[in-house]
């Protein structure tokens, strides 16, 4: 039963990250996912200090607020003339250090394992169950991730057209009267919620892998946005399952193995994708070089 819960947690995390990750890759904001996943740390610590418990809800709130603050600050400094990548780097490292300092300031009073926040420990997810009215209804992380996934899919489903237009042509979207900034912040909000919900399973640093790698793999396989989202979720889930198997064979970190498998799938797509594959391109070049005369 534990195995089932662990794999389900992995699949849910991969699917919800995969869905929002597509938009990050398309909008060239992959590193913002990285930034958010690091900078939610102080949000989690502050929520923990205020609420005094390790309940998921206050942490989720604190982290989501910090995620939006991160995006806002990045935008602000960018408008002040800092290059966008440097602005990302300044903001997330500063917030992350603030988080680490907070953890070490209050490390005696709180029981928050920094390693666990950063690397995640999906193996423990199965034991931390939620009971409602005395009935055990499954692990907390499954519920958190399930809600995050449903939220992602619902919002993306309702505003699919708007998100699509904002991803490919923000200028046209603005001209058509779509509130681009609102959708930007909505997407960022979804990224923060997904990141935080995935914490317990894949950890802060590996969330970025789940956000970017399956989405980039899907990007190589198709040219249609709808299919890309589906492929991305599927590839993420596949790497979660294969990663779990690999991890139990090797007796190693599950989250790490999932990302490694996702990386392998990316390399396969990079080499052999029917549309973009490196190998096919090279073969085509060679046959073209031979044929003429």
Partner 1 sequence: MNGFFELLQDPNVRSILLGCMLLGLSSGVLGSFAYLRKQSLMGDALSHAALPGICIAFMLTGVKSVGIFLIGAALAGLIATFGIGWITRHSKIKQDAALGIVLSVFFGFGIVLLTRIQHSGSGNQSGLDKFLFGQAAALNRDDVRVMAVVSAILIAVCILLFKEFKLLSFDPGFARGMGMPVGLLDQLMMLLLVVAVVVGIQAVGVVLMSALLITPAVSARYWTERLGVMTALSGLFGALSGLAGTWISTAGGNLPTGPLSVLAATVWFLLSVLFAPGRGAAAKLLLRRSARRELASAQTRAVIAASPASSGAQTMGKGEQQA
Q: Which residues bind partner 1 (CB under 8 A)?
A: 25, 28-31, 33-34, 38, 77, 80-83, 85-90, 93-94, 96-98, 100-101, 104-105, 114-115, 119, 205-206, 208-213, 215-216, 219-220, 247, 250-253, 255-260, 262-263, 266, 270, 276, 278, 281
Nearer to partner 1 among residue 43 and residue 209 (C-beta): 209
Nearer to partner 1 among residue 15 and residue 178 (C-beta): 15
Nearer to partner 1 among residue 38 and residue 140 (C-beta): 38
- Is 71 within 8 Å of 188 (Cβ atoms)? yes
- Is 37 within 8 Å of 204 (Cβ atoms)? yes
- Least distance (Å) from partner 1 to the CB of residue 266? 6
Q: What is the Cα–Cα distance from 118 to 123, expressed in whole angstroms?
A: 15
- Least distance (Å) from partner 1 to the CB of residue 86? 4
Nearer to partner 1 among residue 219 and residue 231 (C-beta): 219
- Least distance (Å) from partner 1 to the CB of residue 45? 12
DSSP code string of 20-87:
HHHHHHHTT-HHHHHHHHHHHHHHHHHHHHHH-S--HHHHHHHHHHHHHHHHHHHHHHHHTT--HHHH
- Least distance (Å) from partner 1 to the CB of residue 141? 19
């Amino acid at each position: 039963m534990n195995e089932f819960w662990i794999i389900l947690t992995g699949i849910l995390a991969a699917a919800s990250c995969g869905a929002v990750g597509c938009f990050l890759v398309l909008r060239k904001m992959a590193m913002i996912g990285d930034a958010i996943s690091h900078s939610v740390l102080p949000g989690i610590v502050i929520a923990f200090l205020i609420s005094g418990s390790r309940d998921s809800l206050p942490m989720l709130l604190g982290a989501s607020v910090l995620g939006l603050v991160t995006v806002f600050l990045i935008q602000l400094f960018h408008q002040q003339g800092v290059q966008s990548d440097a602005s990302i780097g300044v903001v997330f490292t500063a917030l992350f250090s603030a988080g680490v300092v907070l953890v070490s300031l209050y490390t005696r009073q709180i029981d928050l394992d920094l390693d666990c926040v950063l690397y995640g420990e999906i193996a423990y997810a199965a034991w931390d169950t939620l009971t409602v009215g005395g009935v055990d209804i499954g692990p907390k992380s499954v519920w958190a991730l399930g809600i995050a996934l449903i939220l992602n899919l619902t919002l993306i489903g309702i505003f699919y057209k708007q998100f699509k237009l904002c991803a490919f042509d923000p200028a046209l979207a603005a001209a058509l009267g779509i509130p681009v900034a609102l959708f930007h912040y909505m997407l960022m909000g979804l990224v923060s919620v997904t990141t935080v919900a995935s914490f317990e399973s894949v950890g802060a640093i590996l969330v970025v892998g789940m956000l970017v790698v399956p989405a980039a793999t899907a990007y190589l396989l198709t040219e249609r946005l709808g299919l890309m989202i589906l492929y991305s979720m599927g590839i993420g889930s596949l790497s979660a399952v294969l990663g779990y198997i690999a991890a139990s064979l090797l007796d190693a970190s599950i989250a790490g193995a999932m990302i490694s498998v996702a990386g392998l799938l990316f390399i396969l797509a990079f080499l052999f994708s029917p549309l973009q594959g490196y190998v096919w391109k090279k073969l085509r070049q060679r046959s073209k070089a031979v044929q003429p005369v």
